Structure 1
Amino acid sequence: MQQEAEKPLSPQEIAERFDVSREQRDEFEEVLESLVREGFIHRSSRGLYGVPEKFNLLRGRVDRNPKGFAFLIPDNPEKEDVFINPDNLNGAMNNDKVLVRFLPHSHGKKDEGEVVKILERANEHIVGVLDSYKRYGFVIPDNQRINTDVFVPQDEFKGADDRDKVVVKITRWPERNRNPEGKIVEVLGKQGESGVDLEALIRQLDLPQEFPGKVVQAAENLSSEIPSEEIERRRDLRDLRLFTIDPEEAKDFDDAVSIEKISDNKLRLGVHIADVSYYVEEDSKIDKEAFKRGTSIYLVDRVIPMLPERLSNDLCSLRPREDRLAMSVFMEYNLEPFELEDYEITESIINSNYRLTYDEARQILEDEDQDIRKEYRDIVSDLELMKELREKLMSGRRLRGTIEFEFPEVKVILDDRGRAVDLQKREHGLPEQMIEVFMIAANRAVAREAYWREEPFIYRVHDNPDPQSIEEFNEFIHNFGYHIKGGESGEIHPGALQELLDEVSGTGAENIIETMMLRSMKKAVYSPVNIGHFGLSLDCYCHFTSPIRRYPDLMVHRIIKEIINQGKLEKERRWQLEDDLPEVADHCSVQERRALDAERDSVDLKRIEYMQQYVGDKFTGIINGVTSFGFFVQLENTAEGLVHVEDLTDDYYQYRDDLQALVGERKKKIYRLGDEVEVRVIKANVEERELDFVLADME
């Protein structure tokens, strides 16, 4: 239908094309109907069939903005996102899988579309606050991307009271101009009670905290003994000096590193990754649960793991002085001129010598703390070599054009009761960068191997920005006296964006330009179609180095194992993967977005909780978001609050989209992204998720 059909086909024409016998006719019609249900082919009003693209349709997922509008994120990563007006969603909700029909262009803007069919619903359960009346109530969703309240009749309250935090199950999906209906299935507690909001976040993910009993039992039944025949068939690296470097709080160690000096001009880097695929067989109970979860989720007070603890913190964790199965990637580098000369991927057995924290590595490499250097004297020389290699790899990234954003990350410190007592910026110094570039190098080598062999695979892809987005970004930075090479045409190389970041580094415009640049770019996703990785400026890339916490990495391990052991995939296996990988990639991308939303929400909640003690106090911050209703200010401790436009009392202010600024009508005073302002905290409400400021000079 994509390549050969010259027109829409009737069922009879398709059946004739495939020589479908009379006995096979019922089965044939079931297959045809299932393809229509899943949106892979489309049936017209006249009963004719074709691929959606031939009918001016596109298949993908709805990414809804809190303001109401949405974008279709196409299944095919080579297709551009499609804007959807709220009036054209036709009952579709955030993350629903849909078919969209293109609408005529409007003023030369981005493609617009209308949802014509909902293929798969994504929000069967919704978490929110009950707003009750005499005979009915509405559940107001916590997730701001679900822009409609859920109607609940009183006999479906399940004992919930007004302002309770609840979980509601949808019983009737929304339609144009009509709310969804539902019934309450769980009451989490009164809004504002300690711990209720984080429990609500977990329910919002629609993931159980506890693993099913059969999954736990299956993990417990796994033997900790490694069979001798398994050891014999692997590369024995137990005598190779290697170690892990992780955050202090880490419990699952899925990567270790080694380095050898082969000659004055050559180093061999080893990246050794826990071989989770040995223990988690495809389609097993553990595997199905891991696929369902897709990723581990790191909330401020807990981890919701992808794998049971028996695997994540025990059998697969590369704990020091314990034999562990691994997948090892060796990369040989010439130092002058610097280049990757060769690489090898092999199954191995290893025994980690040390477990270092990032802080300990920092004390060795940057502070040259003699006590720590003495404690780890066996590996100090290795760390020094790794530091040298890191500098070479970082230089290579710059030459290649990798984009390096410098947004601060925060670590929330909790007391014994789970309340936020401090906000600390996470370090991303030399040790963190060192491990990061080593992991990227291993991921790149594995992706290359699969790509060159032309085998089915899951890539990590990052599409080029929309030309229109780049043009608009270039127009915006002209206000600050900057421009990017190629920005006028919309065609851009990532190196040009990095040059701009270098140019604005340390200036007052740095924050605003970084923020707007990020907004102009697309999101990285998983895909069986390799389109390269724009942000890393790589022609092919994958995720291989975290199989304990990411399902795509686990699938990559399985595929690359088969490739290196057999030379190529068997025909049946290739067919199976070609069928399965699009769904696996799409599901994992969705689960990743959900996890990131939950992690960000959990940090935001605790930021607001932490700021409650500072209501009435003054702080200096940077404007990092401007809207028609006010501007957002980020403080040094990363807390972010809103200054409402109605609290700007010295003038009437109008929003200027071209400047990303609020401009006073009379005095022409401007508040825009990147400006430094002094504010006073006037509200910190965890229940409403609101942190409000006023300008200190307007009180």
Structure 2
Amino acid sequence: MAKKKEKKAGKRMTKKQLAEIVIHFFQTEPNNVFSLKTIFLALRLTTHPLKMLCVDILSDLTMDGYLTEVDKHKFKLNTQGKELIGIFHRKSNGKNFFVPEEGGDPIFIAERNSAHAMNNDKVRVIFFAKRKQREPEGEVVEILERANDTFVGTLEVTKSYAFLVTENRTLANDIFIPREKLKGGVTGDKALVKVIEWPDRAKNPIGQVIDILGKAGDNTTEMHAILAEFGLPYIYPKAVEAAAEKLSDVISEEEIAKREDFREVTTFTIDPKDAKDFDDALSVRKLKEGLWEVGVHIADVTHYVKEGGIIDKEGEKRATSVYLVDRTIPMLPERLSNFICSLRPNEEKLTYSVIFDITDKGVIKDYRIKHTVIKSDRRFTYEEAQEIIETGKGDYKEEVLILDTIAKALREKRFANGAINFDRYEVKFDIDDTGKPLGVYFKVSKDANKLIEEFMLLANKTVAEKIGKVPKSQKPKVFPYRIHDLPDPDKLDNLAQFIARFGYKLRTSGSKTDVSKSINHLLDDIQGKKEENLIETVSIRAMQKAIYSTHNMGHYGLAFDYYTHFTSPIRRYPDMMVHRLLTRYLDGGRSVSEAKYEDLCDHSSNMEQIAANAERASIKYKQVEFMMDKIGQVYDGVISGVTEWGIYVEINENKCEGMIPIRDLDDDYYEFDEKNYCLRGRRKHGIYSLGDAIKIKTAKANLERKQLDFALVE
């Protein structure tokens, strides 16, 4: 019992004050039964009025179902026999909560009842009976699985001890580090620290330094810190690199003899100008007037990476390459990703191919899936291929132009079938040798990008259909699909209500195709309008996320009944799984374990999301760095996000995003209207709404927190 509360109990108290003490007493002893006498003694209730008040409170709590009277005048916390398992979410403001595994509303966990559980830990919780007018509450009784016990921050070292100062929004306390656990770190170093214990009564967790990342502010240090913060690897294990170095890049005549030979067929790659890992190439040759053979050739990574080997295990763990602003952290060692498997020009390469006999109207007459050998004639950048499409001049112009014609026909057909057309631009930075951002440019998807996209989609869809589409009497074999569920109906209704304010309509019921065509119609209607970005953002939020699963439900956004990922095995582990299973099944092999592959799909989906979050954090870091020397400058922007703590604004000219805290909107008391994406003034009824044009100036740029603060310019 806390001393402060014991003292308080002997004095005069309100019913509310005593009720809090009684509740805390039962929460700290959830499994014990207490008589009235024991309760009076424990709470030091020495006066008759206090004892009577306590009896009154016990009666109320029993009526509420919060306590159980197990015998006359004997009380116990009513946990409803309810122990729940789920995920603990820690918040630096102390508003921790627990989400039950079996579903249901979040349950508040006070800090005193958290057992020092960390964010995303799997825990066992006792669920207290719900009290009237109070949110449900519980207590962590066991930590079943630690989600993350490592943190990134900056060291502050004194003579006898040190602290890791974290910017982690889930940890309110800095981490105490004994001198002997510092690993040579000094003040100002960025470090990765593991929490080794958090004693019951200690305010701060105790940790040890795992790795010194470098000096805070140094570009490589900060990029490694972002990776470490998301639990992603920032160095490649030496043993895995050594295994890759031993792989031979020589292709034997015996291997070539087993494969279909495309070395004499015109073949080329089209990729971003800074790419080194060329996963895919296209070949094209005329079969007869109006009919073409188009080969989609994909690096045969699994020929070199054997299942269960050291390289494969590392690839499986990483599950994806990570693309930060200024670097790629590859899934596979560079000898494989940039050299042996990369489809570089004028080099013979082993590939896995889907070869189509296709008309210039995009009608597939026949296809085959084969292991092949190719020799790329040319490496195009997207810009070079785009120039050929626009001018009709350049190397292999006939081949590029016919592929563009077919791709446009495929694309048109896809949208006619209900595929959704979200054409988003990407923000990129021009960066100098030290990693400093010099300028911003926008990467827009043009015809050359769409050409490659259409043939990759076609190959992925064809492979998925080959395995998934079986006669009704047969059960399809286990296979990883890329699935995308229908939009959330509630979010779709919200979207329809929201866009109605701008005079637009949206179908929210009917067939899948009806709804997707209506979304496309909306996206066409808003093109070039001032609300375009806003409505597109809100529309994307109504969509589900695409994930990997062995349970096929089709891909809503692409309007495909069968879809998988086959075309990027250098940078995605699911594509390697697909290559192996495709080979197995085409050779007549039996189906594999569904449970094993569903776990691999889950892991791949999770790693994809983590990689995307790290990529966003690196962009945010560069945005803040880019704006550091622009404090006080005035910009036109648009409100890109509205929350209860403020409004986010995206600057029109460079797409850097910052926040105006709600406390700085001091001309009124503003309330957050979640449904209508706006803040509304209580007295003057002024509104700040998602998509509104707004003038701001940069007020603060905090690199450590990756945070830009803006101020309103009247």
* Counterparts in 2 of 1:638 and 1:84: CA distance versus 1, 3 Å: same
CA distance in 1, matches of 2:435, 2:412: 42
Which of the numbers 145, 152, 158 marks the counterpart of 2:176? Answer: 152
Q: Say if 1:471 and 1:488, in contact at 8 Å, map to a contact too.
A: no
Q: Say if 1:83 and 1:113, in contact at 8 Å, map to a contact too.
A: no
Other-structure match for 1:477? 499
Other-structure match for 2:479? 457
Quote how far apart the aligned CAs of 1:446 are: 0.8
Which of the numbers 323, 340, 344 marks the counterpart of 1:298? Answer: 323
Q: Say if 1:474 and 1:487, in contact at 8 Å, map to a contact too.
A: no
Other-structure match for 2:21? none
* Counterparts in 2 of 1:121 and 1:259: CA distance versus 1, 3 Å: farther
Other-structure match for 1:617? 633
1:235 aligns with 2:250: no
CA distance in 2, matches of 1:100, 1:532: 37
Superposition map of 1:148-547 within 5 A: 149=173, 151-155=175-179, 158=182, 160=185, 164-172=189-197, 181-335=206-360, 339-368=363-392, 370=393, 373=394, 376=395, 379-452=396-469, 454-486=476-508, 493-547=515-569
Q: Say if 2:150 and 2:194, in contact at 8 Å, map to a contact too.
A: yes
Other-structure match for 2:674? 657
CA distance in 1, matches of 2:181, 2:91: 29
Quote how far apart the aligned CAs of 1:629 are: 2.2
Q: Say if 1:152 and 1:184, in contact at 8 Å, map to a contact too.
A: no
Q: Provide Cα deviations, 1:225-249, integer angstroms capped at 9, x if missing partner.
A: 1122211111111111110000111
* Counterparts in 2 of 1:407 and 1:502: CA distance versus 1, 3 Å: same
Q: Provide Cα deviations, 1:515-550, integer angstroms capped at 9, x if missing partner.
A: 122222222111121122222222221111111111
TM-score, with length taken from structure 1? 0.80
CA distance in 1, matches of 2:615, 2:373: 34
Quote how far apart the aligned CAs of 1:101 are: 11
Q: Provide Cα deviations, 1:650-695, integer angstroms capped at 9, x if missing partner.
A: 4333322222112233433222111111211122221232211112
Other-structure match for 1:597? 613
Quote how far apart the aligned CAs of 1:160 are: 4.8
CA distance in 2, matches of 1:627, 1:177: 34
Other-structure match for 1:24? none
Q: Say if 1:468 and 1:490, in contact at 8 Å, map to a contact too.
A: no
* Counterparts in 2 of 1:70 and 1:206: CA distance versus 1, 3 Å: same
Matched residue of 1:493: which SS? helix
Quote how far apart the aligned CAs of 1:213 are: 2.7
* Counterparts in 2 of 1:221 and 1:394: CA distance versus 1, 3 Å: same
- Percent identity, aligned pairs only? 41
Which of the numbers 143, 147, 153 marks the counterpart of 1:122? Answer: 147
Quote how far apart the aligned CAs of 1:393 are: 1.6
| AA of the residue aligned to 1:694 | A
Q: Say if 1:682 and 1:694, in contact at 8 Å, map to a contact too.
A: yes
| AA of the residue aligned to 2:682 | E
Quote how far apart the aligned CAs of 1:431 are: 0.6
CA distance in 2, matches of 1:117, 1:429: 54
| AA of the residue aligned to 2:366 | D
**Aligned Cα root-mean-square deviation (Å):** 3.7
Specify every segment of 5 or more residues in structure 2 that has no aligned partner in the other structure, as ranges.
1-80, 132-136, 471-475
* Counterparts in 2 of 1:466 and 1:181: CA distance versus 1, 3 Å: farther
Q: Say if 1:511 and 1:673, in contact at 8 Å, map to a contact too.
A: no
Q: Say if 2:97 and 2:109, in contact at 8 Å, map to a contact too.
A: no
CA distance in 2, matches of 1:428, 1:121: 42
Q: Provide Cα deviations, 1:344-401, integer angstroms capped at 9, x if missing partner.
A: 2110011111000001011111244x5xx1xx1xx10011111111211221221122
CA distance in 1, matches of 2:125, 2:354: 43
* Counterparts in 2 of 1:195 and 1:278: CA distance versus 1, 3 Å: closer
Quote how far apart the aligned CAs of 1:114 are: 11
Other-structure match for 1:677? 694
Matched residue of 1:597: which SS? helix
* Counterparts in 2 of 1:455 and 1:447: CA distance versus 1, 3 Å: same
CA distance in 2, matches of 1:631, 1:147: 24
Quote how far apart the aligned CAs of 1:155 are: 4.6
Quote how far apart the aligned CAs of 1:223 are: 1.3
TM-score, with length taken from structure 2? 0.78
* Counterparts in 2 of 1:243 and 1:71: CA distance versus 1, 3 Å: farther
CA distance in 1, matches of 2:317, 2:380: 32
* Counterparts in 2 of 1:160 and 1:217: CA distance versus 1, 3 Å: closer
Q: Say if 1:332 and 1:343, in contact at 8 Å, map to a contact too.
A: yes
* Counterparts in 2 of 1:64 and 1:359: CA distance versus 1, 3 Å: farther
Other-structure match for 2:708? 691
Q: Say if 2:496 and 2:508, in contact at 8 Å, map to a contact too.
A: no
Quote how far apart the aligned CAs of 1:455 are: 1.5
Superposition map of 1:32-47 within 5 A: none
Q: Say if 1:474 and 1:488, in contact at 8 Å, map to a contact too.
A: no
Quote how far apart the aligned CAs of 1:330 are: 1.5
Q: Say if 1:82 and 1:113, in contact at 8 Å, map to a contact too.
A: no
Structure 1, 287-296 or 687-696: larger mean CA deviation = 687-696
Matched residue of 1:546: which SS? coil
Other-structure match for 2:78? none
Quote how far apart the aligned CAs of 1:425 are: 0.8
Specify every segment of 5 or more residues in structure 1 that has no aligned partner in the other structure, as ranges.
1-54, 107-111
* Counterparts in 2 of 1:380 and 1:647: CA distance versus 1, 3 Å: same
CA distance in 2, matches of 1:456, 1:553: 14
Structure label with greater radius of gyration: 2
Matched residue of 2:522: which SS? helix
Quote how far apart the aligned CAs of 1:483 are: 3.3
Matched residue of 1:683: which SS? strand
CA distance in 2, matches of 1:597, 1:632: 18
Which of the numbers 557, 564, 586 marks the counterpart of 2:602? Answer: 586
CA distance in 2, matches of 1:403, 1:69: 38
RCO higher in 1 or 2 (8 Å CA, sep ≥ 6)? 1
CA distance in 2, matches of 1:72, 1:590: 18
Matched residue of 1:480: which SS? coil
